[in-house]
Amino acid sequence: MNEELVKQEKTQPRGMRFLTFFLVAACIVGLDQWTKWLVRRDIPMNTSWLPDSLEWLSPYARVFHIQNRGASFGMFQNGNIFFIVLSLAVVTGIVYYVSHMEHSSMWMWVAAGLYLGGAVGNLIDRVTIGAVTDFVSVGTFYIFNVADASINVSVALLLILFWLHEREPSKPLEATDADENS
């Protein structure tokens, strides 16, 4: 079954993979920016919101509007220029890596799109308002946003893909694969 999927992915047009990559990234950027816009518009800074019917949930989850000028977990506050440059480097690196991927699983392209979308979503905030809008507060964990969640899901997906790849028995290259690489 796994060999059949690999053969299907090898015959899938490269353009379709790029389309998937950019569509995933665009959807994440759109959802991220829309949710941040709603939070900035409707919830005052440093306040939380939860519908009255879900008040029992407040110790565990709520919407809490903050502006993060640092990195994850609030580290490195006031490093906006550094993080803009770092984000631009990450975005460039992802696009470069994806443009050189050969016969990778479609899930690898999805993971790259999730990461790109998250990086661009937070980059837009840093450039336009000088900080990243965070609003998802779960328990005592740090407050995050759609872009952060997308990056974390991407990393988890990549770890799973690498783990699955390592578990596969190594097989010699088929003649057609060797011919393609020469």
Evaluate whether residue 83 is within a structural domain: yes
| Phi, psi for residue 167 in degrees, rounded to 5 | -80, -20
User: Which pLDDT does position 178 carry in this prediction?
Assistant: 47
Q: Is residue 182 part of a domain?
A: no
What integer pLDDT is reported at residue 1 of this predicted model? 46
Residue 5 has pLDDT above 80, yes or no: no
For 123-166, write each residue's pLDDT tens digit.
999 999 999 999 999 988 889 999 999 999 999 999 998 888 77
Q: Which amino acid is at 151?
A: I
User: Could you read off the pLDDT of 81-121 as tens digits, one per residue?
Assistant: 888 888 899 999 998 988 887 767 889 999 999 999 999 99
pLDDT at 72: 61
Mapping DSSP to helix (H, G, I), strand (E, B) and coil, where does residue 74 land? helix
**Most distant CA atoms of the chain, gap in Å:** 65
Q: Residue for token digits 């518009």? A: 41
Known catalytic residue at 148 = yes
Q: What is residue 116's predicted lDDT score, i.e. its pLDDT? A: 96
Query: Among 42, 134, 177, 179, which one carries the catalytic annotation?
Result: 134
Sequence-ordered alpha helix ranges (H) in the chain: 2-11, 14-42, 80-99, 106-129, 146-167, 175-181
Establish if 7 belongs to a structural domain: no
Using 50, 70 and 90 to split pLDDT, how confident is the model at 16?
Answer: confident
**Can you tell me the distance from the alpha carbon of 96 to that of 72, in angstroms, rounded to the nearest whole number?**
25
Residue 105 domain-assigned (yes or no): yes
Q: Which domain holds residue 159?
A: 13-44+62-167
Domain total in the chain: 1
Asked whether residue 51 carries a pLDDT value surpassing 90, the answer given is no
Q: Is residue 182 pLDDT above 60, yes or no?
A: no
Instruction: Please report whether residue 179 resides in a domain.
Output: no
> Is 2 part of any domain?
no
Which of 32, 42, 125, 148 is the catalytic position? 148
Tell me whether residue 177 is in a domain: no
Q: Do you know the residue count of the chain? A: 182
Grade residue 171 by pLDDT with cuts at 50, 70 and 90: low
Per residue in 52-80, pLDDT tens?
889 898 889 999 999 988 666 555 666 67
Q: What is the mean pLDDT of the chain?
A: 84
Residue 138 lies in a domain: yes
